[in-house]
């Protein structure tokens, strides 16, 4: 296994010199920042948030947006947001958003759990043909 050495600015301005894996481990906890949405692709449900804390940008996915019934899980370029992030490579970015609080949603509000609903696009049926010639059919969950 190769040994990587680095010198990176870490938490509270401390510089970590040595093994890059140590720097990665220190930065695995989500940190909170404020930034502006650089770009957002509604079709893909992904975008980038710029902040001084995340040089090069922070990758964001629609599933990480804290939203309520009145707001869809989308962002708009130029929008100011609060977000928590973690270090980690995602689509060429060194940071990825853990939660994003858009305008109108209080930072720190937890992500609502989405109720489990079976997909309307998929339905299954189980059919058993027994050796005596009888057939048992059970519809799948809907």
pLDDT at 111: 77
pLDDT at 74: 84
Q: Domains of the chain (ranges plus CATH)? A: 5-139 (2.40.50.140)
Closest CA to 93 of 33, 38, 48, 35: 48
pLDDT at 40: 95
pLDDT tens by residue, the chain, 142 residues: 333 333 344 443 444 444 444 444 444 567 899 999 999 998 898 999 999 999 999 999 998 999 876 677 789 999 999 999 999 888 999 999 999 999 988 888 887 765 555 555 556 778 889 999 999 888 765 4
Separation of alpha carbons 125 and 31, rounded Å: 46
């Amino acid at each position: 296994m190769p040994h990587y050495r680095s010198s990176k600015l870490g938490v509270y301005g401390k510089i970590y010199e040595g093994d890059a894996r140590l720097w990665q481990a220190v930065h695995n906890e989500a940190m909170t920042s404020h930034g502006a949405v650089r770009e957002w692709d509604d079709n893909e449900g992904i975008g980038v948030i710029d902040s001084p804390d995340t040089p090069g940008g922070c990758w964001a996915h629609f599933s990480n947006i804290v939203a309520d019934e009145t707001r869809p899980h989308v962002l708009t370029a130029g929008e100011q947001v609060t977000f928590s992030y973690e270090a980690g490579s995602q689509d060429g970015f060194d940071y990825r958003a853990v939660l994003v609080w858009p305008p109108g949603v209080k930072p720190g509000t937890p992500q609502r759990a989405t109720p489990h609903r079976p997909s309307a696009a998929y339905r299954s049926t189980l059919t058993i043909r027994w050796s005596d010639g009888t057939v048992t059919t059970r519809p799948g969950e809907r």
